[in-house]
Structure 1
Amino acid sequence: MKILIAIIIFSAIILFHEFGHFLFAKLNGISVTEFSLGMGPRLWSFQKGETRYSLKLLPLGGSCAMVGEDTAEEEIPGSFNAASVWGRISVVAAGPIFNFILAFVLAVIIVGFVGYDPAEVLEVDKNSAAAEAGLQNGDIITEYDGYHVDLAKDLYVYMYLNDLNEGDTVSLKVRRDGMTETISYTPDVSVRYLLGFNRSDASSMTVESLIDGMPLQEAGLQPGDTITAINGVEIADGEAYDAYLAEHPLSSEPVEITYDRDGLDYTATITPKEYRTPQLGFSYNLGYTKTSGLQILKYGALEIKYMIRTTLLSLKELVTGQLGFQNLSGPVGVVDAIGTTYEESKSEGIMMLWMNMLNMAVLLSANLGVMNLLPLPALDGGRLVFLIIEAIRKKPINREIEGRIHFAGLMALMVLMVVVMYNDILKIF
């Protein structure tokens, strides 16, 4: 069931994208030879007028094939290149624009049912630098370090992608009683001492993984070892470990760790490592607030703005190396993500299930719109670059050269899709 729903959502988004191309091709007198959903061999099709409408085997794409779209031919009536340059621009741009329209309509539905998430300060820590700087409960954050904040999720994504370091100055703009206040402060620092390991779960003392450069790794412990005592005090389980730390907080003083490996006991004397963490000094809302009237349209638009900006920020992080290639997902990964969201949402009731499904559709539709507008060969954005140059020069770039560039881009895109699909399959299994 989850796979079927995932395919339906993914296919609907692609179909709407291709319908944008199809509609504006018809409006500009361009003949469409085939309008299809999916890739590969046809499963079913029918002919109406000049256009064949097809359903193909692999539900991972779609196409709107126009006469003369990929040739240098201009004279054939009804061909792509016979249309005016602005007509062709509208045809190419229509696909991504229709994705944004679909995302907006779905976002309005979500906001109408669920509401929006204001970046409201819920609690300011007493005696913190944030409190001393004047931040108050109920303030609505509108800017964080120069980054405009419309919704709480804007703040969350920005802070996720931009680590707060010790000594940094936090600059906020907040809305309070209809006025804008500017607040700046240097966050307090929390100092902890850590051994440097992760447990398989909260009740276990078995080492699931070790943190690079931390004391337990340097002492030679390995994943699968089980810590059984600290300074001679038996640690039977995770609850006993937490109780021990509450009574004997780790410090810069050495401690003796006893651990079990393959039924044998070993000991190691280690010095916990200082770990310093800047503290924002406040918590903010991540829940939703109901709204009505024209505010639904406003926050629907802001949801799309958030989706587009997050996609662009993620691309920036990918290009600069802050995100790795393993973070990319293709159609297989997308279907798996939708399926996972479906399974996790079932327990929340039918309303939240469908709201989460719609939210996935909004994210994917906006993402597809942005990605298609990238100025890369074979993508809609790459075609728009050539068409805009043609509009400025009043004559086209050599169409054979343009065709070769798009073909090379398409081949590179196919290779990338195969690699990403392989990566998706590895992540699933």
Structure 2
Amino acid sequence: MGISMNIIIAILIFSVLIIIHELGHFLLAKSNGIFVTEFSIGMGPRILSMVKTVKGYRLRGFMSTGDFTAANRELEATIYSIKLLPIGGSCMMLGEDETVEDERAFNKKGVWGRISVVLAGPIFNFVLAFVLALIIVGMRGYDPAKIANVTTVAKEAGLQDGDVITRIDGKNINLARELNMFLYMNPLSEASVDLTYERNGEKHNATINPEYVKNYMLGFYYDDGNKAVVKEVMDDYPMKNAGFQNGDIITEINGVKVATKDDIINYFKEKPLSDKPVVITYQRNGAENSANVTPKLSGQGYSIGFALDGSRVKTSGFGVVKYSLAEVKYVIVMTVDSLKMLFTGKVKANDLAGPVGIVDMIGSIYKDSAPSGFVTVFLSLASFSVLLSANLGVMNLLPIPALDGGRLVFLLIEVFRGKPVDQTKEGMVHMIGFIALMILMVFVMFNDFSRIF
């Protein structure tokens, strides 16, 4: 897919996320009797505006600041605008950043009404994430923390392939990704791990004493089906260096015939990879070839003796709602945990992705899912949109000036003080915060360009 199409899809996704966010502010403002001066999509100069007259709505082209002010004063109705730059959006309210002697002004409303208006934007993003998750889970199912490839310490604790982990060290687990994130945030050590798992509808408890292991990889991904086909080979890994290509069909491993992906998985389950060479026989364009591949040490550390299946399982009824909520919760928790890692130095600032990086990710998602058809493309982009929408909600709740969270801080101060903070001083703080955010955005975009190009 060309870069232009990447940008078009990204603009569509960003627009939906931002419109939903601003719609939350808009609807709660209206319900609290606050006059919304402008509801806009995009940033920069207005290129198209719709204003209300006594005869109804009419469209206008470019509207200057003076025209805009006059329209608000004369018509006393919300102006709906599309602006030049297709990023961002706004819901401008009367008396939001200045004291206005009008009963419809934001500053004239009760503090809890204003808090509801500010909170509505992020909450609407969480609601959008949930709606998208309902579609995804309803069509594709969810990924239970189903055990696969049980080895020594897990076997000794009584676990079997197919068991589903529901709790680890006191934390409830609904998804395989939740368990992976928990283990990432809480690295294993010599300390024992307490698990709760389900088998045939019954719950069991187990305690595992992690073992220190070395992990080796050949460096390839399987086909999406159950064929013994190489879907992709990883750069700087043995399979790539040995000359394997996408589409190669693996037929034998060390002389043992394999016909499916499960055959390969079962072979390495019985004979785990080590630093010893593996002879792999494969077919390409009808011709048979063999190669000696020496696995690469990909990591070492403590293990609880099993992997996760990761495949999705269909559900219905209440299960769709339950696991859709679990999807949104997972993304929110992951976002918060990522911020913690950023502030503690576990994640570097250079790893941040901005609009350019997101456009590149969208292009990669489309490229990888397009061969499987429209439904797969839609669900893949919807899944990414769940991540973006929940991220937008969390980021806007951060207590940073110029963001919704920054405004909430001042409103909560007002709750405890019994009177509002001087709006001039608050506006100055938000202005400084806005400038800082713009500087951060420039930094992130520079990182995006340097990483991609």
State the TM-score bracket (shorter-chain normalisation): 0.7 to 0.9
Distance 2:403 2:298 in 1: 50
Question: Which of the residues 380, 387, 405 maps onto 2:411?
Answer: 387
* Closer/same/farther in 2, CA of residues 133 and 4 from structure 1, 3 Å limit: same
Give the stretch that moved more between structures: 101-110 or 178-187: 178-187
Partner of 2:146: 120
Question: Which of the residues 92, 103, 111 maps onto 1:85?
Answer: 111
Partner of 1:63: 90
Query: Is the contact between residue 34 and residue 65 of structure 1 (CA under 8 Å) also seen in structure 2?
Result: yes
Distance 2:401 2:164 in 1: 43
Q: Give per-residue Cα distances to partners, 1:274-303, cap 9 Å, x unaligned.
A: 985433321222111111112111111111
Question: Which of the residues 85, 98, 102 maps onto 1:76?
Answer: 102
Task: Tell me whether 1:21 sits opposite 2:25 in the alignment.
Answer: yes
Task: Tell me whether 1:102 sits opposite 2:106 in the alignment.
Answer: no
- Which letter maps to 1:346? A
Task: Tell me whether 1:5 sits opposite 2:29 in the alignment.
Answer: no
* Closer/same/farther in 2, CA of residues 295 and 191 from structure 1, 3 Å limit: closer
Q: Give per-residue Cα distances to partners, 1:336-370, cap 9 Å, x unaligned.
A: 21222112110122211110011111111111001
Question: CA RMSD, aligned part only?
Answer: 2.6
- Which letter maps to 1:182? N
Question: What is the count of residue pairs matched by the alignment?
Answer: 364
Question: Which of the residues 199, 211, 218 maps onto 2:236?
Answer: 199
Distance 2:367 2:101 in 1: 54
Partner of 1:373: 397
Gaps of 5+ in 2: 53-74, 218-234, 244-289
Distance 1:39 1:62 in 2: 6
Distance 1:83 1:203 in 2: 64
Q: Secondary structure at the match of 1:124?
A: coil
Give the stretch that moved more between structures: 5-14 or 273-282: 273-282
Partner of 1:268: none
Task: Tell me whether 1:400 sits opposite 2:424 in the alignment.
Answer: yes
Query: Is the contact between residue 117 and residue 289 of structure 1 (CA under 8 Å) also seen in structure 2?
Result: yes
Partner of 1:257: none
Query: Is the contact between residue 2 and residue 343 of structure 1 (CA under 8 Å) also seen in structure 2?
Result: no
Distance 1:416 1:192 in 2: 38
1:282-297 pair list within 5 angstroms: 282-297=306-321
Partner of 1:170: 193
Q: Give per-residue Cα distances to partners, 1:231-264, cap 9 Å, x unaligned.
A: xxxxxxxx7652xx59xxx9xxxxxxxxxxxxxx
Q: Give per-residue Cα distances to partners, 1:302-321, cap 9 Å, x unaligned.
A: 11111111111111111111
**1:158 CA displacement:** 2.5
**1:374 CA displacement:** 1.0
Give the stretch that moved more between structures: 360-369 or 1-10: 1-10
* Closer/same/farther in 2, CA of residues 286 and 276 from structure 1, 3 Å limit: closer
1:265-414 pair list within 5 angstroms: 276-414=300-438
- Which letter maps to 1:204? N
Distance 1:186 1:373 in 2: 40
* Closer/same/farther in 2, CA of residues 335 and 398 from structure 1, 3 Å limit: same
Distance 1:366 1:420 in 2: 20
Distance 1:199 1:315 in 2: 30
Q: Secondary structure at the match of 1:69?
A: coil
Distance 1:32 1:108 in 2: 32
Task: Tell me whether 1:187 sits opposite 2:218 in the alignment.
Answer: no
**1:201 CA displacement:** 6.3
Give the stretch that moved more between structures: 387-396 or 374-383: 387-396
Distance 2:373 2:367 in 1: 11
Distance 1:16 1:276 in 2: 45
* Closer/same/farther in 2, CA of residues 276 and 380 from structure 1, 3 Å limit: closer
Distance 1:129 1:85 in 2: 57
Query: Is the contact between residue 10 and residue 335 of structure 1 (CA under 8 Å) also seen in structure 2?
Result: no
Distance 1:387 1:42 in 2: 31
Query: Is the contact between residue 242 and residue 291 of structure 2 (CA under 8 Å) also seen in structure 1?
Result: no
Q: Give per-residue Cα distances to partners, 1:59-110, cap 9 Å, x unaligned.
A: 1211111112111x14223211011111111111110011011111111011
Question: Which of the residues 145, 149, 170 maps onto 2:169?
Answer: 145
**1:399 CA displacement:** 2.2
Question: Which of the residues 81, 92, 95 maps onto 1:54?
Answer: 81
Q: Secondary structure at the match of 1:288?
A: coil
Query: Is the contact between residue 15 and residue 88 of structure 2 (CA under 8 Å) also seen in structure 1?
Result: yes
Q: Give per-residue Cα distances to partners, 1:176-215, cap 9 Å, x unaligned.
A: 3444433222223335899xxx837634379xxxxxxxxx
